[in-house]
Structure 1
Amino acid sequence: MSKQFLVPASSQRKNGNSAALCREFTRGAEESGHHVETIFLRDKKIGYCLACYHCKNSGGVCAIKDDMADILDKMNDADVIVMASPVYFYAIDARMKPLIDRTVAQWLTIKNKEFYHIMTAAENSDTVMDCTLECFRGFAKCLKGSVERGVIYGKGVYEAGAVQSMPVMKEAYAMGRRA
């Protein structure tokens, strides 16, 4: 059965390591017959949540007029959401956090989603991505019916493209194929 995938990717670099893992995951999912749309957050205008709660009184419509309304529609339509971020100081990067915060406008309607998480970091330690993963898991936990299906760790990659020769590329492709 074909699924609709949405991949919000916060890689700052077009040829960065988390972007490369997203491409491999996507390739695998598409070869399995799924429709995948990747949104590179660096190409979108997403303002910070103002905590004004305009959305609460306007049917989930945010007071900020930017690219987030379209992204929220895509999140609602998706069966699977693949969150991807490089690790900056043990956390998600600065482009991913506003996306997560702005889902407050429709967090009650973004439900029953399968989640995959893709992370990359320069460090190679086993704990370097713990906080990042907890950010992703905390977000998914707030959405009714969410289920985590997989996590991809690209450790020890700093230079753009460093991940290309690592086994995690095959892992990302295989996970996409199984999704």
Structure 2
Amino acid sequence: MCGQMKTLLDRLNPLYSTDYSFRDIYMIATAAENDESAFEKAYNGLQGWVDCFEKASLKGMVGGGGIDAANTAADHVDAMKKAYELGKKL
């Protein structure tokens, strides 16, 4: 899990004791590695956080592997299509 994601989850923890309104959680991630296992720890970390919020659930995840430089995600058509399809479900 990257530092930015960890910081986000840590900053959202105070919502646990509130009447939070978020329900559906989605994750879009990129990695230089092309293997699906590159996303497992980030996904599991997010799932662990979501499990703490009774009314929320992790609805979908898109992983774009092989994205190893800035501004190259658009070159990965399969990942972009998956992200687009996931977005249509929102």
Calculate the TM-score normalised by the size of structure 1.
0.45
Offset of 1:143 from its aligned partner? 0.8
1:123 aligns with one of 11, 26, 33 = 33
Tell me the number of residue pairs that the alignment of Structure 1 and Structure 2 aligns. 88
Equivalence for 1:103: 12
CA distance in 2, matches of 1:112, 1:104: 13
Aligned partner letter, 2:9: I
Question: Helix, strand or coil for the counterpart of 2:27?
Answer: strand
1:146 and 2:56 are equivalent in the alignment: yes
Equivalence for 1:132: 42
Contact (CA 8 Å) 1:111, 1:144: kept in 2 or not? no
Q: Larger radius of gyration, structure 1 or 2? A: 1
Question: Helix, strand or coil for the counterpart of 1:150?
Answer: strand
Aligned partner letter, 2:68: Y
Aligned partner letter, 1:161: N
CA distance in 2, matches of 1:112, 1:99: 15
Considering only aligned residues, what root-mean-square deviation do their CA atoms show, in Å? Answer: 1.6
Calculate the TM-score normalised by the size of structure 2.
0.85
Greater helix fraction, Structure 1 or Structure 2: 2
CA distance in 1, matches of 2:15, 2:85: 32
Contact (CA 8 Å) 1:112, 1:147: kept in 2 or not? no
Residue pairs, 1:159-178, within 5 angstroms: 159-166=69-76, 167-178=78-89
Offset of 1:149 from its aligned partner? 1.4
Offset of 1:170 from its aligned partner? 1.5
Equivalence for 1:47: none
* Unmatched segments (≥5 aa) in structure 1: 1-90
Question: Helix, strand or coil for the counterpart of 2:44?
Answer: helix
Cα distance per residue 1:59-87 (max 9 Å; x no partner): xxxxxxxxxxxxxxxxxxxxxxxxxxxxx
CA distance in 1, matches of 2:56, 2:80: 25
* Unmatched segments (≥5 aa) in structure 2: none
Aligned partner letter, 2:14: A
% identical equivalent positions: 27
Aligned partner letter, 1:105: P
Contact (CA 8 Å) 1:108, 1:143: kept in 2 or not? no
